[in-house]
Amino acid sequence: MIRTTYLKLAVSAMAICLCLCFSVAAQQTTSPDTNYDITLQLVIGSNESGAKNDLPNSLGPIASQIKSNFTFASYRLASTFVGRIANNGHFDYNSITNIEGKDLSSNVPTFLDWSLANLEVVPGTRNLRAQAFKFGARVPVYVGDASKGQQAVNYEHIGVSLVRMGLNQNIPTLIGTLHLPGTSGTIFLVMTIRPTEG
């Protein structure tokens, strides 16, 4: 009788353990070898006259969040950067660009770099976390009086650096903001990470 009771308890315990294992396996839907497409978008908010609102529909949810906290007259997508990273990988980007989207001389480029380090899936979830994210730019700022031929260009460094950042897959996420030197505008850094098919 006692042996039968112990046997029933052992079988029940094994059944519970199996159910828990299947549950955890079902939650862990991302393979450790999964690759991800990273999209970093720079949205600029400004009060410049004549500026138009020009944001893609994919940024609708994040646009509502931004507009609820900031009161700029217009918001536009200035730049989009794309990269690919493996689970626990590192992505690093360095280039010459034009953040503001204005016609600037090629003699005064903007130097841009950003990186994402050690992206991984949070165990048992579909959430992501990265060990570090860094965005930096050296932007040209005009100083002096152009009418007197005394105008010069100085470079000012702007940037955002984060340690242990969390994100959800497939959802545009506001990472941070930066003031644009020499303007009243603000840059909003928006990142979207999606698992790739292969």
Alpha helices in 54-194 (DSSP H): 60-69
The whole-number average pLDDT for the span 45-73 is: 86
**Amino acid symbol at 167:** L
Cβ neighbors of 178 (< 8 A, separation 6 or more) are 135, 158, 159, 160, 186, 187, 189
pLDDT tens for residues 100-134? 655 445 567 888 999 999 999 888 888 999 999 99
Q: Please determine, for residue 8, whether its predicted confidence score (pLDDT) is greater than 80.
A: no
For residue 68, what are its two tokens? 């609820």
Average pLDDT, the chain: 80
Q: Determine whether 139 is exposed, middle or buried from the number of CB atoms within 10 Å of its CB (0-12, 13-18, 19+).
A: buried
* pLDDT reported for residue 23: 43
Neighbours of 2 (CB within 10 A): 6
Polymer length of the chain: 198
Which single residue is written with the structure tokens 């029933």? 8
